């Protein structure tokens, strides 16, 4: 039989079309007969012409890829929002930093204002003015005392520094390095030449510092004015700010803000106590060892302790350096041991005992907050970064848990200012 007489096998399209025609004829016959009481259901002709639905397309994507995509776009949104907020904070640093410092001062002085208002029955404006004036007067007196001690002790420290430099020079000549006099003189001449070459830059830097002093004065006045209104009208201002919050969320946000304020007051008070103990311990060691500028260095330790981790390290290094220049290496080693002892006492005893769990922050969060604060506003940013994180931590936990602060929270005043 010739091969050309054999019919080719039907294709899948032809079979599907034949099945469709057969099914259609069967349905038409049943409709004409009028005996069909069952729902009209077309026969299954295969899935050759079915389109893929979106659900099927989602199921075709692996689960881990869909999960990663869902997390990814949400992370990108949060990162974009954080970048916008940090950019705005950096641009408005000259306004936000004074406000943050004023808020810290208000948290520090609010217990005294509450005592004058509630126990002595003084008007709000008078009580706030008295506390603020007393704080400014104490700060000015402290600065005057520090400057006086610096002026009185600078000549003696300069002589000790010159003697120390001479000892270092002799050690470089007779020590293991065996540097010659010509090499030392060349190094000294190079340093003097650098000073001469950069005299203009140094002078312009002094003028820039003088120009910045006026800005510092204006910023200080702004801080005082804002602190006054925070102390006198803090609660009223906080209630007015609730107008921008939806009605259903006003009460939770108000309670979260009060909890955050109590945390800020507790944090500032605890930080002052810890800083005073640090300054007292290191200052006593400096006084007993008769190191020059003992009171100034103790004040530096007190102020630097408001910056966690970095402040205590830097102020302790300055104290050791001054002791090295003034009294020699043996005294410097003793001062270093005293600084390490005080810092260990602070980290393992004072911080957990005074701060408590209510205002405790993980060290990693402290480091990240310090880095962000320094990047945005320098030293002042490092000063206010950790308190802001502590307040946000408490407020957000209060909002999410829907309850009052933990029982071990340090409540300074029953009537917080904001």
Question: Tens digits of per-residue pLDDT, 160-194?
Answer: 566 666 666 666 666 565 566 666 667 656 665 65
The pLDDT of residue 405: 45
Q: How far apart are CA 68 and CA 65, in angstroms?
A: 5
CA dihedral 362→366→368→372, nearest 10 degrees, is 150
- Mean pLDDT across 321-332: 81
* Cα–chain center distance at 49: 60
Asked whether the CA dihedral 350, 354, 358, 361 is positive or negative, the reply is: negative
Q: How far is CA 357 from each of CA 124, 267, 390, 394, rounded to the nearest angstrom?
A: 33, 11, 11, 11
The answer to whether 387 and 267 are in contact (CB under 8 A) is: yes
Report DSSP state, residue 388: H
The answer to whether 327 and 290 are in contact (CB under 8 A) is: yes
Euclidean distance between the first and the last CA atom of the chain, given in angstroms as a whole number: 105
278 within some domain = yes
For residue 290, what is the enclosing H or E element?
none
The answer to whether 321 and 297 are in contact (CB under 8 A) is: no
1 within some domain = no
- What are the tens digits of pLDDT across the range 374-417? 777 777 777 888 888 888 888 888 888 764 444 444 333 334 44
- If one compares 24 and 77, the residue with the highest pLDDT of the two is 77
341 within some domain = yes
Residue among 304, 309, 363, 315 at smallest CA distance from 338: 315
343 within some domain = yes
- Mean pLDDT across 228-234: 89
Q: How far apart are CA 366 and CA 309, in angstroms?
A: 9
Q: How far apart are CA 250 and CA 417, in angstroms?
A: 18
Specify the long-range contacts of residues 411-414, CB closer than 8 Å, at least 24 apart.
Answer: 411/262, 411/266, 412/110, 412/111, 412/262, 412/265, 412/266, 412/269, 413/110, 413/111, 413/114, 413/265
92 within some domain = yes
Phi, psi of 121, deg, nearest 5: 60, 35
Residues 6+ apart with CB under 8 A from 328: 164
267 within some domain = yes
The answer to whether 272 and 104 are in contact (CB under 8 A) is: no
CA angle 136, 138, 139 (to 5 degrees): 65
Least confident of 8-12, 227-231, 333-337, 390-394: 8-12
251 within some domain = yes
Write down the residue that tokens 């957990």 correspond to. 352
The answer to whether 100 and 388 are in contact (CB under 8 A) is: yes
Mean of the per-residue pLDDT values of the chain: 75
The pLDDT of residue 357: 56
- pTM for the full predicted model: 0.65
3-state secondary structure of 281: helix
Which domain covers residue 116, as residue numbers? Answer: 84-401
Domain count of the fold of the chain: 1
Residue among 278, 277, 298 at smallest CA distance from 287: 298
Under the banding of pLDDT at 50, 70 and 90, the label for residue 76 is very high
3-state secondary structure of 418: coil
Write down the residue that tokens 């704080």 correspond to. 135
Write down the residue that tokens 């948290």 correspond to. 107
75 within some domain = no
Assigned token pair, 169: 């020079």
Least confident of 134-143, 210-219, 255-264, 389-398: 210-219
């Amino acid at each position: 039989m010739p091969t050309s007489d054999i019919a080719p096998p039907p294709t899948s399209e032809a079979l599907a079309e034949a099945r469709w025609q057969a099914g259609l004829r069967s349905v038409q016959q049943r409709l004409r007969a009028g005996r069909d009481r069952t729902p009209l259901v077309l026969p299954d002709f295969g899935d050759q012409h079915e389109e893929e639905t979106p659900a099927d397309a989602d199921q075709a994507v692996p689960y881990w890829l869909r999960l990663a995509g869902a997390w990814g776009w949400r992370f990108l949104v949060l990162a974009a929002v954080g970048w916008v907020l940090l950019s705005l904070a950096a641009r408005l640093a000259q306004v936000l930093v004074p406000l943050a410092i004023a808020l810290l001062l208000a948290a520090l002085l609010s217990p005294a204002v509450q005592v004058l208002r509630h126990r002595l029955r003084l008007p709000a404006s008078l009580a706030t003015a008295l506390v603020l004036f007393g704080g400014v007067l104490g700060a000015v007196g402290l600065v005057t005392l520090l400057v006086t001690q610096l002026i009185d002790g600078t000549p003696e420290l300069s002589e000790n520094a010159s003697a120390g430099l001479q000892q270092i020079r002799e050690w470089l000549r007779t020590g293991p390095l065996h540097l010659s006099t010509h090499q030392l003189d060349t190094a000294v001449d190079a340093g003097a030449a650098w000073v001469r070459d950069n005299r203009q830059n140094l002078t312009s830097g002094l003028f820039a510092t003088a120009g910045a002093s006026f800005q510092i004065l204006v910023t200080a006045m702004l801080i005082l004015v804002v602190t006054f209104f925070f102390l006198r009208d803090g609660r009223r201002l906080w209630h007015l700010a609730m107008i921008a919050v939806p009605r259903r969320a006003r009460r939770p946000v108000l309670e979260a803000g009060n909890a955050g304020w109590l945390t800020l007051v507790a944090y500032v008070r605890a930080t002052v106590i810890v800083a005073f103990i640090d300054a007292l311990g290191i200052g006593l060691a400096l006084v007993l060892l008769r190191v020059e500028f003992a009171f100034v260095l103790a004040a530096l330790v007190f102020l630097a302790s408001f910056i966690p981790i970095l402040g205590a390290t830097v102020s302790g290094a300055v104290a050791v350096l001054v002791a090295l220049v003034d009294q020699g290496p043996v005294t410097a080693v003793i001062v270093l041991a005293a600084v390490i002892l005080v810092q260990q006492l602070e980290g393992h005893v004072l911080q957990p005992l005074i701060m408590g769990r209510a205002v405790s922050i993980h060290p990693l969060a402290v480091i990240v907050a310090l880095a962000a604060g320094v990047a945005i506003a320098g030293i002042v940013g490092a000063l206010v970064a950790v308190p802001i994180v502590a307040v946000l931590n408490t407020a957000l936990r209060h909002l999410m848990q829907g309850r009052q602060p933990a029982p071990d929270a340090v409540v300074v005043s029953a009537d917080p200012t904001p």
